[in-house]
Amino acid sequence: MVDFADIRAEGATFVMLELARRKVHPIDDASNTIHTNRIGLYCETINIQTAKTTMPFEVPFSGLISGESTTMVMDAGMARKTVQLSGFLTDQTIHKRSGSGAVKQAKMTSYEVAQLLHSYVDSSFLQQDQNPSKLIILMPSRVDDNFDVRTGHENTPHDELPLIPFNFANRIYDVPDWSIGETKGTFDAITSASQEIKGIEGFITDVGTDLSGASIPTINFNLSFVQASTAVSDFINTTF
């Protein structure tokens, strides 16, 4: 299992943006690390919001019969899920890999990382090496997919617990047999710092950076990420 100490030992952060290149054309070999085609973010606040979309309607004449009007609601199973991040950027070694070529490493200044983020948000899903399509937020986990406490972790401190990525899925224990989708297996603990991580797929709606004399050379940032299906863009990138 991988815990916070393992991630720190790798020099990684617990919040990362992943480029579409890593998912569309994954390369499973020793050259791929937790850093490859990812940008680490140092976050001070993470605000996660789930807004359920319902369609309420008033029942005609219900007040005439009972003396109290009634409102009914249609639950269409829709929700908008957003994540807002704020924190700071520092100098960071970026690990880029395009196709099956060698990994290129370059230590960029905090200013360059900020410029990189802005240029990536300004791109589209057709640019695999410029499109941040996944947000990874690693968190400690004590309970597995079946609502059982992970073996040997009944009283383990948070910073020594196995890590899982935050997601909006449910544990298998809560999922009915007839349910379809990618819910199952999302609560498996990360076993290697270099393995693929599910995370939250979607897109960045906006990013802001603040170059303030008081904080330089670190640069404050804020970022909004919306969970969304990337099936169409994945199909286009894979096919063409």
The two tokens of residue 61 are 């004449």
User: Do the domain assignments include residue 65?
Assistant: no
The two tokens of residue 65 are 């019969």
Which pLDDT score, from 0 to 100, does residue 70 have?
A: 82
Query: Quick one: DSSP state of residue 80?
Result: E
User: Do the domain assignments include residue 166?
Assistant: yes
Query: Quick one: DSSP state of residue 160?
Result: G
User: Do the domain assignments include residue 62?
Assistant: no
Task: List beta partners, residue 57.
Answer: 72
Is the distance from CB of 17 to CB of 132 less than 8 angstroms?
yes
Q: Which domain holds residue 159?
A: 4-52+77-239
pTM: 0.84
Which pLDDT score, from 0 to 100, does residue 230 have?
A: 61
Which pLDDT score, from 0 to 100, does residue 139 have?
A: 94
User: Do the domain assignments include residue 18?
Assistant: yes
Task: List beta partners, residue 87.
Answer: 43, 221
Which pLDDT score, from 0 to 100, does residue 100 have?
A: 67
User: Do the domain assignments include residue 69?
Assistant: no
For residues 170 and 232, give the distance between their C-alpha atoms in angstroms, rounded to a whole number: 24
pLDDT along the chain (240 residues), means of 10: 76 90 66 86 96 81 74 80 96 85 89 94 74 93 92 92 90 76 71 84 94 86 90 49
Which pLDDT score, from 0 to 100, does residue 220 have?
A: 95
Report the number of distinct structural domains present in the chain.
1
User: Do the domain assignments include residue 64?
Assistant: no
Which pLDDT score, from 0 to 100, does residue 113 have?
A: 95
